[in-house]
Amino acid sequence: MSELNGRTAATRRIGLIIVGDEILSGRRKDAHFPKIVEMLGVRGLKLDWVEIHGDDREALVEAYRRSFARGDIVISCGGIGATPDDHTRQAVAAALGVPLALHPEAEALITERCVEMAAQGKGSADMSTPENQLRLKMGEFPAGCEIVPNPYNRIPGFFVQDHTFVPGFPVMAWPMLEWTLDTRYAALHHAVAHIEHSFLVFNLPESRIIDAMETVERQWPGVKAFSLPSVGGGGQGPHIELGVKGEPDAAALALRFIRDEAQRLGGTFQAA
């Protein structure tokens, strides 16, 4: 089985941290969560946890300290700019106990970007101007980081200890994350077989199927049972989406068991 940093693919957990007051206030709707679930899924990977944080430096420091300590693979979106409400770079440095420093590759890339913009009549190629000095701050990363290339406008993100930090803008973040998954974590792609099965069951209270779900998880370690009740709608009456997920062979056996149990307990598989 594939290994990365001494851990097998089966034990690697992947987390997502989304940063921004605008998400918590509702001014912007988060688009990262569903897209990253999709990105991971096509590579045979899955998201294990997600956190959303506002632009609060102290809270971010604590969040990153926890995530570094867990040893997970973590994607962090947002807050890496240079305006006063951007705190991610500083919070990561504090969480790691290292200073911020202008990364030489980031400096070169940001300089290239400024030269390109100046050639289009947008700003100056003189990196000593206050505006360009502010841009260079976006290349100040926690000491020891590597850059994450940004094909949209060259201004990079950064990577350290299995944490990847990208901007909040999807047009920039998503290509950067595609590159990260395909470059840094290619060895984990489809390394663990995983499948999910479900079916709709009617006329069955959720409480009646709990024992069977617990039996699934005892009898087939690594398989999880799930139940998603619905009050119905669209022509369907109240029902439960009942299913299992895990290693394909074990999940197939578990699915057969829980379907049989649902029927034995009075459930039906079509609306009455």
What's the predicted TM-score (pTM) here?
Answer: 0.85
What CATH class is the domain 3-188? Answer: alpha beta
**CATH-assigned architecture of domain 195-264:** 2-Layer Sandwich (3.30)
Task: Give mean pLDDT, residues 118-142.
Answer: 94
Mean pLDDT of 82-102: 97
Q: Residue 178, Cβ neighbours under 10 Å: how many? A: 13
Question: pLDDT by residue (tens digit) across 1-45?
Answer: 344 555 555 678 999 999 999 999 999 999 999 999 999 999 999
Which residues 6+ apart lie within 8 Å of 83 measured at CB?
A: none
Mean pLDDT of the chain: 93
* Residue ranges of the chain assigned to CATH 3.40.980.10: 3-188
Question: What's the Cα-to-Cα distance from 143 to each of 27, 76, 102, 103, 205, rounded to whole Å?
Answer: 33, 18, 9, 8, 56
Distance CA 202, CA 191 (A): 36
User: Which amino acid, one-letter code, is at 165?
Assistant: F
Cα distances (angstroms) measured from residue 226 to each of 3, 217, 234, 236, 238: 29, 10, 23, 20, 17
DSSP 268: B
Write out the residue limits of the CATH 3.30.70.1130 domain(s) in the chain: 195-264
Q: Is it the case that residue 166 has pLDDT exceeding 70?
A: yes
Q: What is the mean pLDDT of residues 94-118?
A: 96
In whole angstroms, give the CA distance from residue 108 to residue 237. Answer: 61
